[in-house]
């Protein structure tokens, strides 16, 4: 197995799927001649030509809509948003068109489209460019939402997303693009909606996704192990539909849960998981479900404040002590 960076794994998935299916094309700001703002589309223009790797003007609503139209017409577009912060401009096409076409046409229209791009804080990019927005999209029926945390999952899930016949919101971690990991070559598909146990444990379940996995939760699990606390780490990978079975199985095993997410706590996606656990796993709980999340403020520019706002391994350790009554 080759060791690849997260961006290379995504590049591989794109190239393989474009090779496999001539209907797949990539469109977005600077994806062609500049190889993408984060170099995810490196080399694709040379390989597939300008008809399938398309530079779009700076108008997210416009090329977002173009993509939806192409999907309705039978193509399988991958629309790169330079970041999900900018995709806010395209919300109408994503929410009012892509998510609803199949429903409103009584199944006559399909919208096999992937919107992808970086999500979450990028490091001193201030409030407009540091948002983790997965909870927004998870809210809408008709959208699938994916947030992989490792290069292998990024590749396997992007391939599954491109093959899915419904609109998929594919959220990459802005600070993950350079993170390396082993990636299976060729046909590596990760099913949408399946969580992955990244670390087995018995004392507490840490539920997370995307960048928090490697940046915060796994390091926290190591700190806890040094104290003799054996934490289980469940990487959801897919936000919607999330893997309820895996969550319930882990809760039944450990009886205590800490949910870790980068985004804001207020109506954050972790609240939805907590709701599920309190209803479906009530008798298995030994402590209230606890959450660690970004503080409910706009992101500061100053590095020291940014560190305070984002979840940290120390805060996860503290939350684990709480649910273990230590």
Partner 1 sequence: MPIAIQLPALSPTMSEGRITKWLKKEGDKVNSGDGLAECETDKSNLEIEATDGGTLLKIVVPAGSTSPVGGVIGWIGKPGEAIPEAPAPAAAPAAPAPVAAAPKPAPAAPAASAVPPKPAPKPVAAAPVAGEERLRVSPLARKMAETQGIDLASVPGSGPNGRIVKRDVEEAMASPAPAAKKSAPIVRAAPGVRQAPQDIALTSMRKVIAQRLGEVKPGVPHFYLTIEVEMDQALKLREEAKAQDLKISVNDVLVKATAMAVRKFPRINQFFAGDRIVQLNTVDVGVAVAIEDGLITPIIKDADVKGLAEIAQEVRELADRAKKKALKPEEYTGGSITVSNLGMFGIDSFIAVINPPQAAILAVGKVEPKVVVRNDAMVIRQMMSVTLSGDHRVIDGAVGAQYLQELRSLLEHPLRLLF
Q: Which stretch binds partner 1 (CB under 8 A): 28-36, 193-201, 278-286, 298-306?
A: 278-286
Q: Out of 30, 129, 318, 321, which one is annotated catalytic?
A: 129
Q: Out of 8, 16, 29, 60, which one is annotated catalytic?
A: 60
Q: Please identify, using beta-carbon distances, which residue of 163 and 253 lies nearer to partner 1.
A: 253
Q: Please identify, using beta-carbon distances, which residue of 19 and 275 lies nearer to partner 1.
A: 275
How many amino acids of this chain bind partner 1 (CB under 8 A)?
8
Binding of partner 1 by 284 (CB under 8 A): yes
Question: In angstroms, what is the minimal distance from the CB of 265 to partner 1?
Answer: 21
Instruction: Please write down the HEC assignment for all residues of the chain.
Output: CEEEEHHHHHHHHHHHHHHHCCCEEEEECCCCCCCCCCCCCCCHHHHHCCCCEEECCCCHHHHHHHHHHHHHCCCEEEEECCCHHHHHHHHHHHHHHHCCHHHHCCCCCCCCCEEEEEECCCCCCCHHHCCCCHHHHHCCCCCEEECCCCHHHHHHHHHHHHHCCCCEEEEEECCCCCCEEEECCCCCCCCCCCCEEEECCCCEEEEECCCHHHHHHHHHHHHHHHCCCCEEEEECCEEECCCHHHHHHHHHHHCCEEEEEEEECCCCHHHHHHHHHHHHCHHHCCCCCEEEEECCCCCCCCHHHHHHHCCCHHHHHHHHHHHCCC
Q: How do strand 76-80 and strand 24-28 relate by DSSP bridges?
A: parallel
Question: In angstroms, what is the minimal distance from the CB of 286 to partner 1?
Answer: 4
Binding of partner 1 by 282 (CB under 8 A): yes
Binding of partner 1 by 283 (CB under 8 A): yes
Binding of partner 1 by 187 (CB under 8 A): no
- Alpha carbon dihedral 215, 218, 223, 226, in 10-degree steps, equals -160
Question: In angstroms, what is the minimal distance from the CB of 239 to partner 1?
Answer: 27
Binding of partner 1 by 255 (CB under 8 A): yes
Sole binder of partner 1 in the list 19, 286, 296, 303 (CB under 8 A): 286
Q: Please identify, using beta-carbon distances, which residue of 266 and 282 lies nearer to partner 1.
A: 282
Binding of partner 1 by 325 (CB under 8 A): yes
Q: Please identify, using beta-carbon distances, which residue of 127 and 202 lies nearer to partner 1.
A: 202
Sole binder of partner 1 in the list 197, 223, 249, 287 (CB under 8 A): 287
Q: Please identify, using beta-carbon distances, which residue of 271 and 287 lies nearer to partner 1.
A: 287
Q: Please identify, using beta-carbon distances, which residue of 191 and 288 lies nearer to partner 1.
A: 288
Question: Can 60 be counted among the known catalytic residues?
Answer: yes
Task: For residue 296, count other CB atoms closer than 10 A to its CB.
Answer: 11
Q: Which stretch binds partner 1 (CB under 8 A): 20-28, 47-55, 173-181, 285-293?
A: 285-293
Residues marked as catalytic? 60, 129
| Residues lying near partner 1 in the complex (CB under 8 A) | 255, 282-287, 325
């Amino acid at each position: 197995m080759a060791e690849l960076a997260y961006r290379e794994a995504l590049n591989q998935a794109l190239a393989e799927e474009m090779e496999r299916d001539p209907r797949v094309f990539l469109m977005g700001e600077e994806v062609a001649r500049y190889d993408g703002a984060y170099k995810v589309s490196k080399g694709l223009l040379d390989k597939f030509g300008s008809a399938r790797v398309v530079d779009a003007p700076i108008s997210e609503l416009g090329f977002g809509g173009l993509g939806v139209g192409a999907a309705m017409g039978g193509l399988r577009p991958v629309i790169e948003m330079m970041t999900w912060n900018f995709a806010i401009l395209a919300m109408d096409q994503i929410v009012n068109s892509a998510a609803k076409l199949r429903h409103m046409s009584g199944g006559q229209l399909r919208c096999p489209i992937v919107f992808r791009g970086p999500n979450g804080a990028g490091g001193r990019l201030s409030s407009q460019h540091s948002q983790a927005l997965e909870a927004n999209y998870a809210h809408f029926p008709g959208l699938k939402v994916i947030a992989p945390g490792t290069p292998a999952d990024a590749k396997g899930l992007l391939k599954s997303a491109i093959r899915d016949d419904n609109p998929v919101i594919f959220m990459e971690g802005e600070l993950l693009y350079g993170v390396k990991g082993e990636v299976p070559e060729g046909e590596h598909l990760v099913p949408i909606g399946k969580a992955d146990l990244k670390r087995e444990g018995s004392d507490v379940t840490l539920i997370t996704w995307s960048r928090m996995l490697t940046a915060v939760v796994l390091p926290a699990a190591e700190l806890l192990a040094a104290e003799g606390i054996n934490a289980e780490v469940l990487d959801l990978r897919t936000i919607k539909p999330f893997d309820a079975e895996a969550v319930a199985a882990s809760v039944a095993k450990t009886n205590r849960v800490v949910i870790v997410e980068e985004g804001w706590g207020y109506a954050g996606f972790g609240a939805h998981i907590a709701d599920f656990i309190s209803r479906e796993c009530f008798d298995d709980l030994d402590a209230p479900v606890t959450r660690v999340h970004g503080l409910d403020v706009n992101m500061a520019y100053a590095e020291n404040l940014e560190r305070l706002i984002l979840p940290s391994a120390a805060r996860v350790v503290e939350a684990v002590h709480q649910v273990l009554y230590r």
